[in-house]
Structure 1
Amino acid sequence: MPSSATTPPHRVVLVEDHDMVAEAIGLALEQAAGITVVARAKSIAEALAETQRHKPDVVVLDRRLPDGDGIGAIAELSTTGARVLVLTGEASAAVATRVAEAGGAGLVLKSSRLEELEAAVLQVAAGEVAFGPGLLAGVLDRLTGRARGTGTPLTAREQETLVLLAGGASTEEVSERLGVTRNTVRNHVQRILDKLGARSKLEAVAIARREGLLD
């Protein structure tokens, strides 16, 4: 039997135009277990090029860049399969909602401790979202008001999954609670997104709230 291989580190492209900030963040992420920085970029154009080149798991993206607002680049950066975590100097429900609507997986304040950024990167790489509790509530409230209607009804197991997601459960926690594999949970989540016409777990929960699917 082959020996169990060590899980490879999550690959990160860091996008930050201030050298000192980029150096500090880059060093912190490199020293974190389970993370490796494969490239750095100073602009949206460089970020797109490096993401296409390296196909990272996560892009840590500064919001304010010389060639524009990073939030506007999330959709294109995500085409490689990367999940995007936005760095910003200020955070509000409105900004967080823009990130979520663009397909971003999280928002971290630059004033946060480096340990919090590391945790957010790992959380996003694992397929979860990384918005602070206060921001998450605001995002859901705003998305609920803009949500589209539902399509095909959810199965009982999909409904159970949705309720757990609404309670903040991670993929691993849903797996444990339902007694199924994480891949099965991911399949449930994808079908929920498809049926609700949602682009993210957050939007799915928002739609479900609006449509009365969550009691």
Structure 2
Amino acid sequence: MTAPRSEGGHIRVYLVDDHAMVRRGLRSYLEFVEDMEVVGEAADGQTAVDVVSALVADGRAPHVVLMDLLMPGTDGVTATRLLTQRCAGVAVVAMTSYSEVDRIRGALEAGAAGYLLKDAEAEDVVDGIRKAHRGEMPLGPAISRQLAHAFSAPGRTALDTLTAREHEVLVLLASGLSNREIAHRLAISERTARTHVSSILDKLGLRSRTQAALYAIQQGLEPASPPP
């Protein structure tokens, strides 16, 4: 399934958090963001999976799901795994606290596109939603390196299996660039960029571009400067 399109330029957002005040606060803020639309909310993971699956079947899939990780019943990690399995093209962004590194790791392994800290500024949350919608990876810089060291990743020998071009692409991945932006930076087609990313994941034995980005950080690769 391809990623859902933005009709009228709006990014459709679905909120998942067991605290009503958190959901209300996020909704109140996002409703005033010109290019965003909150299409629903849930207080637990199973409800989120059921409702988002129904929205996908009805052709009204959210583009981004903001997922709390610590909830009663079906937690955010399990819900993320179910959503990424059933609703390809819907980006799940984990919302977590600084101390929950293990849960963040679990969410990324489950297929989350990235994570945001709960104490992030509202503007950072909006920026993270936009990044996820563009196919980039919102990663809170405060704990990215800590998370990279906690993340299970291949060793340096695996890095040596990459070609020079794949190494360039991996560095760009570490800075959160999408395939389109990587293609622009390297003057190649988006299809070629996508092929390089797939080859990198295969050679390193990783399952997602987010894992590849964390691996690059773990190996000390310097993120690229933002594109001009």
Q: Same fold (TM over 0.5)?
A: yes
More moved, 93-102 vs 18-27? 93-102
Code of the residue aligned with 1:43 in structure 2: it is D
The answer to whether structure 1 residue 63 and structure 2 residue 64 are counterparts is no
Alignment match, 2:80: 74
The normalised TM-score by structure 1 is: 0.80
Alignment match, 1:16: 17
Q: Give the SS at the match of 2:145.
A: helix
Pairs within 5 Å for 1:1-215:
8-55=9-56, 56-79=62-85, 80-81=87-88, 82-143=90-151, 145-147=152-154, 150=158, 153-166=161-174, 168-171=175-178, 172-205=180-213
Give CA-to-partner distance per residue, 1:60-83, whole Å, 9 cap, x none.
111222314212221111120222
Code of the residue aligned with 1:170 in structure 2: it is L
Give CA-to-partner distance per residue, 1:49-99, whole Å, 9 cap, x none.
111012322111112223142122211111202221112244444333222
The 1-side partners of 2:28 and 2:194 are apart by 32
- Over 3 Å counting, the alpha-carbon distance change for 1:86 and 1:207 in structure 2 is closer
CA contact (8 A) 1:161 1:188 kept: yes
The alpha carbon displacement at 1:119 in A equals: 1.0
CA contact (8 A) 2:13 2:36 kept: yes
Code of the residue aligned with 2:22 in structure 1: it is V
- Over 3 Å counting, the alpha-carbon distance change for 1:11 and 1:190 in structure 2 is farther
The alpha carbon displacement at 1:206 in A equals: 5.2
Report sequence identity in percent.
Answer: 32
The alpha carbon displacement at 1:161 in A equals: 0.8
Q: Which runs of 4+ in 1 moved over 6 A?
A: none
The 1-side partners of 2:145 and 2:77 are apart by 20
More moved, 170-179 vs 109-118? 170-179
- Over 3 Å counting, the alpha-carbon distance change for 1:163 and 1:9 in structure 2 is same
Give CA-to-partner distance per residue, 1:131-167, whole Å, 9 cap, x none.
2113111222222x5437859x54443232113223x
The normalised TM-score by structure 2 is: 0.76
Code of the residue aligned with 1:76 in structure 2: it is L
- Over 3 Å counting, the alpha-carbon distance change for 1:26 and 1:184 in structure 2 is farther
Aligned residues: 208
Give CA-to-partner distance per residue, 1:24-69, whole Å, 9 cap, x none.
2112223223322222111111101111012322111112223142
Give CA-to-partner distance per residue, 1:159-200, whole Å, 9 cap, x none.
32113223x151254233201344542332233223322112
Once superposed, what is the RMSD of the aligned Cα atoms?
3.1
- Over 3 Å counting, the alpha-carbon distance change for 1:36 and 1:187 in structure 2 is farther
